[in-house]
Homo-oligomer: A and B are copies of this chain.
């Protein structure tokens, strides 16, 4: 029984996507994305996000998608506002700083992984417009948040409106875009509606490695293409990126897989709550943050379970993630292991 709840990345590639890779291998295609499949994908995203002029660029990792997107939005002397626990702030080893030429990430607080609107307004005001400090560049939001919680489309609107009031561009880190849409029961267009650029993730949700940078305004497309190439993220055998994303979007596979992951996590959260674990963030998508009884933790480890332990408190804070492949049986097995 697979008890690996460490990451969305621990799961397998979905069979439909493996098949798409095999199919892409059959025919020759022009390299570097100059192919019909990539053009069709762009049209698919135009429909999906209701952005009639959208342009896209595919890359293999979420960090690349975020960093290239941000580099296209800000100047090297700009600030990028994000939640204090955002992936771009904590988990990308300075990729945004590298790609932007040294922009400054300004962390903004807020409970449960969500930026507090008042704190955002205060941060925008504080940045100001003096030549002595970094300028107002972009706001980057993450939905599903790093705390496993959600912003509703209305909550996103409230924050992106503040950014626009201060003349800033807006970016959505959608590494878990599918999980958010599935959990919110909203359309992709609703989730994206307040943003200039979206990082639309596939890797965490059944793909091998593919993310789409989606630009609402096509004016920035060439800049993004040049930055992707210059970073070594333009695949010569681009058809293998396009094939993944095409299969992922076909028949709403993305949404289906996101929903499956959320359902497994919901089952896990209920079980943990029943067992008396302290769930520290509202479990709204596919990640659970809970303080586990140390004895339960030891039993789970002994049974081969894997998940991240985020502090060394007596009741350690643990992150448990369900990817699309997690079965009820696996969730129940973990709960049994914890229960002893």
Contact = CB atoms under 8 A, between A and B. Distances in A.
A132 B21 contact: no
B91 A132 contact: yes
Nearest to A3: B28
Nearest to A97: B102
Interface string A11-31: 111000010011001101111
A234 to B, nearest CB: 7
Contacts of A93: 77, 131-134, 226, 229-230
B98 A94 contact: no
A203 B237 CA distance: 8
Decide if the interface of chain A is mainly helix, strand, loop or mixed: loop
Interface string A312-330: 0000000000000000000
A10 B238 CA distance: 10
Nearest to A226: B77
A237 B225 contact: no
A131 B226 contact: yes
Nearest to A14: B25
Q: How large is the interface on A (under 10, 10 to 19, 20 to 34, 35 or more residues)?
A: 35 or more
Nearest to A236: B9
Contacts of A28: 2, 4, 10-12
A30 B13 contact: no
A338 interface: no
Contacts of A67: 232
Interface string A77-98: 1000000000000111111011
A227 B77 CA distance: 7
Contacts of A235: 60-61, 209
A6 interface: yes
A187 interface: no
Nearest to A26: B12
A103 interface: yes
Contacts of A6: 30-31
A269 interface: no
A76 B223 CA distance: 10
Nearest to A34: B131
Query: Which residue, A26, A75, A204, has most C-beta atoms of chain B within 10 A?
Result: A75
A32 B10 CA distance: 10
A25 B26 CA distance: 20
Contacts of A203: 236-237
Contacts of A218: none
Contacts of A75: 223, 226
Contacts of A105: 104
Interface string A116-142: 000000000000000111110000000
A18 B28 CA distance: 16
A7 interface: yes
B226 A135 contact: yes
A98 B75 CA distance: 12
6 contacts: A4-B28, A6-B30, A18-B25, A65-B232, A95-B231, A209-B237
